[in-house]
Amino acid sequence: MQTQIEKARQGIITTPVSMVAKSEGLSPEIVRARVACGEIVILSHPGRPDQKIVGIGKGLRTKVNASIGTSSDVCNIGAEVEKAKAAEAEQADTLMELSAGGDLDVVRRAVLAATNLPVGNVPLYQAFAETIRKYKNPAKLDAEYLFELIERQLSDGISFMAIHCGINQYTVERLKKQKFRYGGLASKGGTFMVAWMAQNRKENPLYEQFDRVCGLMKKYDGVLSLGNGIRAGAIHDSHDRAQVSEMVINCELAELGREMGCQMMVEGPGHVPLDEIEANIILEKRMSGNAPYYVLGPIPTDTGAGYDHISAAIGAASSARYGADLVCYITPAEHLALPDADDVREGVRATRLAVHIGDISKYPDRRDNEKAASMARREMDWKSLESRLLFPEKAREIRDSRKPAKEETCSMCGDFCAMKKGMEVFGADIGGDKKSA
């Protein structure tokens, strides 16, 4: 079958392209052209007809990914299904199923059945988890088994995969010559692949047989997200030679993958100080030919554990502002424990708010709703204000829990309401806009 990028290059406006254009308020031709040159990818799986169609890339709203999954310590399929449903209810755009404990085929299929969101994963997690169970040694991972597993997961309905193709002997050599990292290695899949290469004295098969990886992705029109396996786990490691060398390789591979007719994304960093986020995104966009950029947070501080969803939201707002296209949420449990459903809800909410802040800065022409909300607040039109909010239920819950003495005001100011007094003095024409409907 032909992929979205191959059809777009032939001038074909597919149903998924039309759906993305409609949801984003763009012309189908603009979306098609950007898919054709690799600036937009579209998540759609031929085996999941009810899956939500999601576009990621240039000119589109910044999307939010929620990650769930079991661990070797905690494995409860029911809990993962609950988390998947919570992420969808909170309006995450995509979901990553990152389980490493239990029967991983069963967990994945249960999650896919529980949600209409596009689902992604990291094939190395299952590959190394099952190799360890079988041989007690991850170095015994068989490359052929890895490729078989990638196809199995795609055939189940996985729409995008973070695959660690950019780790090769060159990037590992950069890591060795640095001799030290303050935050060590933060990627599970990346760390195990580095160890596999060292113990087997072989090249990474995902890099060495990159054309084979792309062939499998094309078979299911999956989006290949080039994993950031040597990402920094500490802000003092941000943009060290190892991380940058992997970015260079991933950007080269993004170009090669597009030439083969495969939809490509590049995956970005984890811990990055706030002042380096813009430069990071500029590098990725320039070197990859503007491939969609999927960032993990990023987290701009190493000392926010317990509130890392807030730390990451600050990084995510900046990332969205400077051009990131998909942001993976961080939950309050990050670095501390496996998230539960409440953590998932908080993580999605914080990240949705963050990328919204970034988007209204990145796209100044998309601020009409902000103005309408301000006018409704000015006029104390609570019903209209609520309809404009990102989280109307939460706003209603708070207001109802502390009702004011006078319904038109709120209990924050009561008789000292600045909005009410301003309307009495100046009326509704402040700022040149008439009273909102």
* Domain positions in the chain: 60-365, 375-432
Tell the burial category of 169 from Cβ atoms under 10 Å away from its Cβ (0-12, 13-18, 19+).
Answer: middle
15: amino acid identity, one letter: T
Asked if pLDDT for residue 429 goes beyond 90, the answer is: no
Q: By C-alpha distance, which of 258, 302, 295, 263 is closest to 280?
A: 295
pLDDT tens across 141-155, in order? 999 999 999 999 999
Work out the pLDDT band at 432, boundaries 50, 70, 90.
Answer: low
pLDDT tens across 50-99, in order? 999 999 999 999 999 999 999 999 999 999 999 999 999 999 999 999 99
Q: What percent of the chain has pLDDT over 70?
A: 98
DSSP string, 25-36: T--HHHHHHHHH
The answer to whether the CB of 348 falls within 8 A of the CB of 87 is yes
Look up the pTM and report it. 0.95
CA–CA dist 216, 250 (Å, integer): 18
Asked if pLDDT for residue 292 goes beyond 90, the answer is: yes
The predicted model gives 410-419 an average pLDDT of 88
Q: Supply the pLDDT for residue 414.
A: 87
CA–CA dist 205, 212 (Å, integer): 10
Q: What CATH topology corresponds to 60-365?
A: TIM Barrel (3.20.20)
